[in-house]
Amino acid sequence: MKTENRGSFSSKIGVILATVGTAVGLGNVWRFPYIVGENGGGAFLVIYILSLLLLGIPGVIAEFIVGRHSHANAVDSLKKLAPKTKWHWIGYSGVLAGFLIMGYYAVVVGWTLEYLTQAILGNLSGMTVEQYGQVFDQFAGHPYWPLVWMVIVMLISTFVVARGVSGGIEKISNVLMPVFFLIILVMVANSFFLPAAGQGMKYLFLPNFSELEPVAILIAIGQTFFSLSLGMGCLITYSSYFKKDVSLAKTATQVVSIDAMVAILSAMIIFPAVFSFGMQPTEGPSLVFKVLPNVFQQMPLGTLWSILFYALLFIAAITSLISLLEVVTAYIYENTSLTRRKAAFIVTGMVSVLGVFASMSFGLLQDVTLFGKTFFDLLDFVTASILLPVGGFFISIFVGWFLDKRIIATELRIKHPKAHLFIKGYIYMLRFFVPACIFAVFLYSLLG
């Protein structure tokens, strides 16, 4: 195993921006608004925030403890902390999940780049609602264009990952994340001036619990894992590059808060816009591709808003794709004689094959389904609904029950000498509360 020159994030702000870069992604800007739309608005938001606080923060801290203490990738970290046991299988499941998520995530990141290009070329205007729908269906179902974009976004990610931790990942996050926050703030400010701003905000912030179905709890927990990049060793990998003076609890709280804030801000951009132009937020996954172009074209300076929005989506997505590639690359790189660049290239090649099938789920393979799901949907379901929660369950059990308590104490006391006051409560949450919630969700989905 290569351990020399592993690299680390060079500054505290780099730690935050890179970790926020992995967490903030399509999950916040694309997935969150449409699942809030499908699950009745404000009440769902309340459940989601509870899930972030009670499962998200403890889960993120647990992965941080494992990563920073072992200074190794998702698999070897567990091998180091629990030698001669099977715990490192959580790491294998994580590497596998990273690979499978990339298979469809890269396809959607490709779509965002296509839409950004079309917006810049001024082609996203002058159509009817139906035409926007058709344009998306035709593009997504095209035999090769989505694949070309997918390969491009994978190559961009490969380029960044090949340059290493501080020279690649940290650098790109330091540039892109501030741009991201600038764009999102400009767009939210604009939202307040739209005709149905009030209706959109009410829909998002006024909870109506009578409309909440129990399955929404399950969806909120799934979203927590997906959005925080939790349960697959991504945060183990990233925190293995944290220096010894980074406060884990503080970083976790900051990252979870920023992630939640971005999801809410994205919804604050999308709902007022959708309501102002007579559309509905219940469109599902294609909301931001089929519905929004039509909304933007009706706004003053429409082309500008659509360029900004797809740039926002692309930045969010590419930094997450980079983190997914890093999880798999770090594992291969540290266990073979390959260079980072070669390892990243090999993963990119393999992901591209998977991406061909995921992309064809919108075209040639549209009608080929397994358990009623297309290949694309299957990748999403197996990862977000199974591998991530199962991963989170076992990481929680591992840190709560098996990891030496002195390691937890050492890691959490850094910067917080009085941490022992809450360490007991924290361990209790990891032992009982977090696994029980995840287990309950599984039971419910099996029986339901």
Site residues for ligand PHE per CB under 6 A: 22-23, 25-28, 101, 226-227, 229, 232, 234, 320, 323-324
**In the bound complex, what is the minimum distance in angstroms from residue 414's beta carbon to ligand PHE?**
25
* Secondary structure (H, E, C), 282-336: CCCCCHHHHHHHHHHHCCCCHHHHHHHHHHHHHHHHHHHHHHHHHHHHHHHHHHC
CB of 124 to ligand PHE, least distance (A): 23
Q: Where are the alpha helices (DSSP H) in 206-247?
A: 215-227, 234-239
Report, in Å, the least distance between residue 219 CB and ligand PHE.
Answer: 14
- Cα dist from 397 to 59, 83, 225, 427, 436, whole Å: 11, 16, 16, 10, 10
User: Between 387 and 427, whose beta carbon lies closer to ligand PHE?
Assistant: 387
Q: Please provide residue 368's backbone torsions phi and psi, each rounded to the nearest 5 degrees.
A: -85, 110
Q: Which is nearer to ligand PHE, 292 or 427 (CB)?
A: 292
Residues 395/90, Cβ–Cβ less than 8 Å: yes
**207 in the Ramachandran plot: left (φ > 0), alpha (ψ -120 to 50) or beta?**
beta
**Cα–Cα distances in angstroms (integers) from residue 267 to residues 107, 186, 293, 384, 422, in the given order:** 23, 14, 16, 21, 34
Q: Which is nearer to ligand PHE, 256 or 343 (CB)?
A: 256
C-beta closer to ligand PHE: residue 23 or 330: 23
- One DSSP character per residue, 33-45 reads HHHHHHTTTHHHH
CA-CA distance, 443 to 85, in Å (whole number)? Answer: 27
Return the structure tokens found at 81. 């902390």
Residue 384, classed as helix, strand or coil, is helix
Q: Which is nearer to ligand PHE, 74 or 187 (CB)?
A: 74
- Beta pairing partners, 370: 373
Taking the complex as a whole, the smallest distance from the CB of residue 22 to ligand PHE amounts, in Å, to: 5
Q: Smallest distance from the beta carbon of 229 to ligand PHE, in angstroms?
A: 3
Q: What pairs with residue 373 in β-bridges?
A: 370
Closer by beta carbon to ligand PHE, 105 or else 362:
105
Q: How far is the CB of 155 from ligand PHE (least distance, A)?
A: 18
Q: What angle do CA 279, 111, 160 make, to 5 degrees?
A: 135
Q: What is the nearest approach in angstroms of ligand PHE to the Cβ of residue 446?
A: 23
Q: Which two tokens stand for residue 41?
A: 């608005």
> How far apart are CB 8 and ligand PHE at their closest, in Å?
20
**Residue 327: CB minimum distance to ligand PHE, A:** 7
Give the nearer residue to ligand PHE in terms of CB position, either 23 or 219. Answer: 23
- Joined together, the tokens standing for residue 211 give 């409309």
- Quote the least distance from Cβ 40 to ligand PHE, whole Å: 21
CB closer to ligand PHE out of 100 and 419: 100
Q: Report which secondary-structure segment, H or E, holds 138.
A: helix 129-140
Q: How would you class 121 by CB atoms within 10 Å of its CB: exposed for 0-12, middle for 13-18, buried for 19 or more? A: exposed
Residue nearer to ligand PHE on the CB measure, 28 or 251:
28
* Closer residue to ligand PHE in complex, CB, 196/255: 255
Instruction: Answer whether 18's CB lies under 8 Å from 170's CB.
Output: yes
